[in-house]
């Protein structure tokens, strides 16, 4: 099982690569919920990671219009694609772009909520893609069952603020317009939503060029499931959005060593949760309502 993570600062790349097997990058025009857009430094980072014999994944995780797909194609032509391990996409339409560029075997499909059973997970096997992300909304038992039947690499969101919502709408902009105020909240990573009946948790909200995104405030973790996951997961993702590179590095070490450093969790004032690993959501919410 390889550990890959996101990156906040270029100067932290070396230290991250000391513990991670690879990193995830992206450009704001084609990706959502980035920790950072390294713009002209992106190619340098790709070269550097490649030189270190580590892996680099490029996020293309927006839902695209036809016009945008053309731009994606042009963008990819300017990248050292031979040094990129995989392209993580949420839109199945990207497959045609990958096919045209001869990159299908590097496509990693991540529709976030949709791959909840082995047939859906493996559905692109005839296209010979690199892999796919299992849904974040299923149990450990289902993940293990899918993993035993996988036909390509299984990617797993293992630690971080779990995404709950993705809209194309610029909802902070429209809210500010409604209030007749200028929008100074775009790309602000310090915003939270709170709900009257759920005061124990506030939910990060982020508006970027791709739209509006809402996350769990508590940190999703996989410590209790690590042993079982290691038998089926090929890539374990630590997402440091709303956190930092130091945290990501320490967390990866904790997973590698199987030891939970409680002081780190306390330092960051975090509450951990297990998502749906051990408690499946239901149709009518009987368990929690």
Partner 1 sequence: MTELLAPAGDLNKLKIAIIYGADAVFIGGKAFSLRANASNFTTEDLIEGCRFAHERGKKVYVTTNVIPHQKDKAGLIEYLKTLETAKVDAIIAASPLIINTALAHTNLEVHISTQQSALNIPTVNYWYNKGATRVVLGRDIDLEGIGHITKNVDAEIEAFIHGGMCAGYSGRCALSNHLTNRDANRGGCAHTCRWFFDLTKDGKKITDTPFSMGSKDLSAVNEVTTLIDMGVASLKIEGRMKSLHYIATVVNTYRRIIDEYEVTGEIKDYEAYAKMLTHAENRETSHGFFHGLPTKDQQLYEKRSERVMQNFVGLVLDYDHATQYATVETKNVFLLEELEVFSPLEASKTFMNEKMMDSNGELIKRAARAKEHIKVYIPFEVHPFDMLRAKRT
Binding of partner 1 by 269 (CB under 8 A): no
Give the nearest distance from C-beta 227 to partner 1 in angstroms: 20
Interface mask toward partner 1 for 78-117; x: CB under 8 A: ------------xxxxxxxx-------------xxxx-xx
Contacts (CB under 8 A) with partner 1, residues 110-169: 111-114, 116-120, 123, 135-139, 141-142, 145-146, 162-169
Q: Please classify residue 110 by burial: count the beta carbons closer than 10 Å to its beta carbon, then call 0-12 exposed, 13-18 middle and 19+ buried.
A: buried
Q: Which of 59, 57, 229 is nearest to 138 (CA)?
A: 229
Residue whose CB is less far from partner 1, 146 or 254: 146
Evaluate whether 5 touches 24 at the Cβ level (below 8 Å). yes
Are β-strands 203-208 and 211-220 bridged in parallel, bridged antiparallel, or unpaired?
A: antiparallel
Spatial CB neighbours of 165, under 8 Å, sequence gap ≥ 6:
212, 213, 214
Of 191-230, which residues contact partner 1 (CB under 8 A)?
Answer: 191-196, 198, 202-203, 205, 212, 214, 216
143 φ/ψ angles, rounded to the nearest 5 degrees: -60, -45
Would you count residue 177 as binding partner 1 (CB under 8 A)? yes
Give yes or no for residue 27 binding partner 1 (CB under 8 A).
no
* 285 makes contact with partner 1 (CB under 8 A): yes
| Contacting residue, 78, 179, 200, 257, with partner 1 by CB under 8 A | 179
- Pick the closest to residue 207 from 238, 176, 242, 170 (CA basis): 170
Taking CB under 8 A as the criterion, the residue among 14, 65, 80, 261 binding partner 1 is: 65
């Amino acid at each position: 099982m390889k550990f890959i993570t996101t990156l906040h600062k270029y100067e932290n790349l070396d230290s991250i690569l000391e513990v991670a097997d690879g990193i995830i990058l992206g450009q704001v025009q084609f990706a959502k919920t980035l920790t950072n857009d390294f713009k002209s430094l992106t190619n340098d980072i790709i070269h550097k990671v490649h030189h270190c014999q580590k892996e680099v994944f490029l996020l293309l995780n927006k839902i695209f219009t036809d016009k945008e797909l053309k731009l994606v194609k042009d963008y990819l032509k300017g990248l050292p694609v031979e040094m990129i391990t995989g392209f993580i996409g949420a839109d199945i339409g990207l497959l045609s772009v990958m096919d045209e560029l001869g990159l299908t075997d590097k496509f990693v499909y991540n529709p976030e909520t949709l791959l909840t059973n082995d047939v859906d997970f493996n559905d692109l096997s005839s296209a010979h893609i690199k892999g796919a992300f299992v849904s974040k909304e299923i149990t450990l038992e289902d993940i293990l069952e899918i993993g035993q039947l996988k036909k390509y690499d299984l990617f797993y969101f293992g630690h971080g603020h779990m995404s709950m919502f993705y809209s194309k709408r610029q909802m902070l902009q429209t809210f500010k317009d409604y209030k007749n105020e200028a929008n100074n909240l775009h790309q602000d990573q310090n915003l939270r939503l709170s709900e009257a009946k759920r005061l124990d948790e506030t939910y990060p909200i982020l508006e970027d060029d791709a739209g509006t995104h809402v996350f769990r405030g508590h940190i999703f973790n996989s410590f209790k499931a690590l042993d079982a996951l290691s038998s089926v997961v090929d890539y374990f993702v630590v997402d440091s959005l709303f956190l930092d590179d130091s945290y990501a590095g320490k967390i990866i070490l904790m997973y590698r060593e199987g030891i939970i450093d409680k002081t780190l969790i306390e330092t960051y004032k975090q509450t951990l949760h297990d998502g749906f690993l051990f408690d499946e959501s239901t149709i009518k919410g009987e368990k929690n309502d």
